[in-house]
Amino acid sequence: MKNNIFNIYTRAQRLIKLLGVLLIFIVALSPTSVFAHGVDANTERFLLGNQGVAIGAFLYIGAKHMVTGYDHLLFLVGVIFFLFRTREVLIYVSLFTLGHSLTLFFGVLNHLAVNPFLIDAIIGLSIVYKGFDNLGGFRRILGFQPNTKIMVMIFGLFHGFGLATKLQKFNLPQMDLWKNLLAFNVGVELGQFIALLFILIGLNFWRRSQSFYVFSTATNTLLMTGGLILFGYQMTGYILNG
Amino acid sequence: MANFMNDTNLPTPSVKSLVFASGLAILLATILLITAVLPAEYGIDPTGLGKKLGLTQLSSAGEDIVDPVITSCKEQLGQWTDSTTIVVPVHSGLEYKFDLLKEAKLEYAWKTDGAKIYFDLHGEPHGDNTGFFKSFKLGSENQFNGSITTEFAGPHGWYFENKTQAPVTIILNTKGTYQVLGLM
């Protein structure tokens, strides 16, 4: 029984790695103009005036938001920093995905107007939370470890609202809105997958060295720093423009 | 297979080390915000360091681009007879014309919101049915200014064609003695 479970996990790992490599090849071999800055700006301009269903454009924009969404990525780095097993990474990332997909859909379909500065400030705080959590801060201060899975899901909900506000900046025709929305969501997951691949490759290389453990405190302190900078930046934006 | 974080056997850090790490994070974040991020993003520079580092220009750069257009437009309106805004929808063309007498002068300056647009400045004689027209200037630009002198009386003006994926907005300033025919 134990052997069977082991086989399934190793097979799943291999499949995921294969998919990842394939995806990287597809991305790398695509005409470079696809990812050139100019096309990106053109896609955005197109979507600002778009009147119908535009699966490809929303897919691309969704992927781009995740790959360049350093606030989402920093949070994910914090989440997977001490996750050494692929199974755990899959579980936590899935919970994050579930959380942000729920609020992305809910927010856009219900035309929720969440203040973008406030939600991005909260996302900044989620990064601070995770850094502090990784340091064992809550175990010391609160005396117990807040369930990490539940917290990833909850913060995922906030990240999803952030994604919703970004998507709502584009012209979203009401007809077949769910199609564009789904394309965006799939794009987000694709982008997340690609970004995580690179992050995990880097992390795993680093984990081979003792320096990973020696510098884990410094790294999570830097994570908190990054989150605080984002928080300050977004709150200033809220005070000025919100 | 317990998750690393939920494992109760993990050493709990001391309050002192937590305070140190958190305090360092707050300090670093504050420094970076005040000296780099806020100057670059909002032009807020309480220490003046942002300016020295050449970061404040990143935020005021946006303003610099906008202001000259607005002020020069306002100044220029003093010399212009008319100013109009034309929006050319995606993948379409339109004409904007003025009715002028023979040997009349039309001075103009137009600029788009940034995108290049195909234009043909031309004129047709009054009552002409042969389809004859005289083209003064044509090309693909995002701004143009100059003047024309008509060789015959009739509608003179621009054919604009938007070949891009987004609507193009054009501000057209004109000076002369004419009747505005407008969009045709």
**C-alpha–C-alpha distance, residues B46 and B24, integer Å:** 21
The type of residue at A181 is L
B88 and B113 in a single domain? The answer is yes
Please indicate whether residue B56 or residue A156 has the higher confidence score (pLDDT). Answer: A156
Q: Are residues B117 and B176 in the same domain?
A: yes
My answer on whether B141 and B80 are in the same domain is yes
| Whether B74 and B127 share a structural domain | yes
Least confident of A169-173, B98-102, B137-141, B144-148: A169-173
Q: pLDDT at position B6, please?
A: 59
B2, part of any domain: no
Check whether B132 has a pLDDT greater than 90.
no
Q: Which residues of B touch A228 (CB under 8 A)?
A: 25-26, 29-30
Per-position DSSP letters for A169-229, written without gaps between them: TS---STTHHHHHHHHHHHHHHHHHHHHHHHHHHHHHHHTSTHHHHTHHHHHHHHHHHHHH
Q: Which of A125, A139, A215, A223 to mutate to test the interface with B (most CBs of B within 10 A)?
A: A139
Find chain A residues with C-beta within 8 A of B24's C-beta. Answer: 221, 225
Q: Does a structural domain hold residue B4? A: no
**B111 and B168 share a domain?**
yes
In percent, the amount of chain A with pLDDT more than 70 equals 87
Confidence at residue B9, expressed as pLDDT on a 0 to 100 scale: 59
Mean pLDDT of B59-64: 50
**SS3 for B54-86, per residue?**
CCHHHHHHHHHHHHHHHHHHHHHHCCCCEEEEE
What are phi and psi for residue A50, nearest 5 degrees? -65, 140
- Residue B2 pLDDT: 38
Tokens of A138: 């809550």
Q: Using CA atoms, how far apart are residues A190 and A201, in angstroms rounded to an integer? A: 17
Instruction: Among B8, B15, B28, select the one facing A225 at the smallest CB separation.
Output: B28
SS3 B163: coil
CA B69-B184-B76 angle, 5° bins: 20
Residue B131 sits in the same domain as residue B178: yes
Tokens of A172: 């979203």
Any residues with CB less than 8 A from the CB of A118 and at least 6 apart, and which? A234, A238, A242
**Residue type at B107?**
E
What is the helix (H) or strand (E) element at residue A31, kind and residue range? none
Query: Chain B residue with minimal CA distance to A232?
Result: B33
B5:A140 CB<8 A: no
Give B21's contacts in chain A (Cβ within 8 Å): 135, 217, 220-221, 224
pLDDT mean across residues, chain A: 87
pLDDT of residue B67: 40
Tell me A34's DSSP state: G
A188-235 tens-digit pLDDT? 999 999 999 999 999 999 999 888 888 999 999 999 999 999 999 999
AA letter at B115: A
Domain range spanning residue B73? 63-183
**DSSP per-residue codes, B30-45:** HHHIIIIIHHHHH---
Cβ atoms within 10 Å, residue B61: 12
Tokens coding B169:
């907005």
CATH number of domain containing B122: 2.60.120.680
Place of tokens 């999803």: A160
- From residue A55, alpha-carbon distances to A61, A178, B109, B175 in Å are 10, 11, 40, 47
Q: Could you give the number of structural domains in chain B?
A: 2
From B25, B171, B165, select the one nearest A51 (Cα to Cα): B165
SS3 A115: coil
Q: Which of A83, A135, A236 sits opposite B4 (nearest CB)?
A: A83
Is the CB of B29 less than 8 angstroms away from the CB of A225?
yes
Q: What average pLDDT is seen over chain B?
A: 83
Query: Counting every residue, how long is chain B?
Result: 184
pLDDT at A47: 78
Selected residue with higher pLDDT from A160 and B51: A160
Nearest-angstrom CA–CA distance, A90 and B165: 40
Rg (alpha carbons) of chain A, rounded to whole number: 19
Q: Are residues B88 and B110 in the same domain?
A: yes
Joined together, the tokens standing for residue B129 give 């049915």
| Confidence (pLDDT) at A24 | 63
Contact B13 A229 (CB under 8 A): no
Inter-chain touch A42–B17, beta carbons under 8 Å: no
Tokens 């998750």, located at residue: B3
CA distance A27 to A35: 9
Res A25: pLDDT = 65
- Residue at B160 is within a domain: yes
Asked whether residue B145 falls in the same domain as residue B82, the answer is: yes
Please tell me the distance from the alpha carbon of residue A101 to that of residue A186, in angstroms, as a whole number.
Answer: 9
Q: Which of A163, A170, A191 is nearest to A106 (CA)?
A: A163
The beta-carbon neighbor of B3 closest among A45, A48, A148 is A148
State whether A236 and B90 contact (CB < 8 Å). Answer: no
Contact across the interface for B6 and A229, Cβ inside 8 Å: no
Nearest residue, CB atoms, B165 vs list A45, A140, A141: A45
Ranges of chain A whose pLDDT falls below 70: 1-6, 9-10, 12, 20-21, 23-40
Q: Residue B149: which H helix or E strand, with range?
A: strand B143-149
Locate the chain A residue with the closest alpha carbon to B40: A233
Residue among B4, B18, B166 minimizing CB distance to A137: B18
- Residue B155 domain flag: yes
Q: Do A233 and B33 touch (CB under 8 A)?
A: yes
Mean pLDDT of the region B54-80: 56
CA B103 – CA B60 distance, rounded (Å): 46
Chain A residue nearest residue B32, CA to CA: A229
Report the residue from B10, B17, B29 with minimal CB separation from A228.
B29
Say how many C-beta atoms besides its own lie within 10 A of residue A19's C-beta: 12
Asked if residue B175 and residue B143 are part of one domain, the reply reads yes
Cα(B174)–Cα(B182) distance, integer angstroms: 12
Residue A210: how many other CB atoms lie within 10 Å: 8
Residues B104 and B36 in one domain: no
Largest CA distance in chain A: 61
**Domain check: are B26 and B103 in the same one?**
no
Per-residue pLDDT at B107: 93
Chain B residues near residue A143 by CB distance under 8 angstroms:
none
B34: enclosing H helix or E strand: none
Could you tell me if B35 and B98 lie in one domain?
no
Q: What is the DSSP letter of B37?
A: I
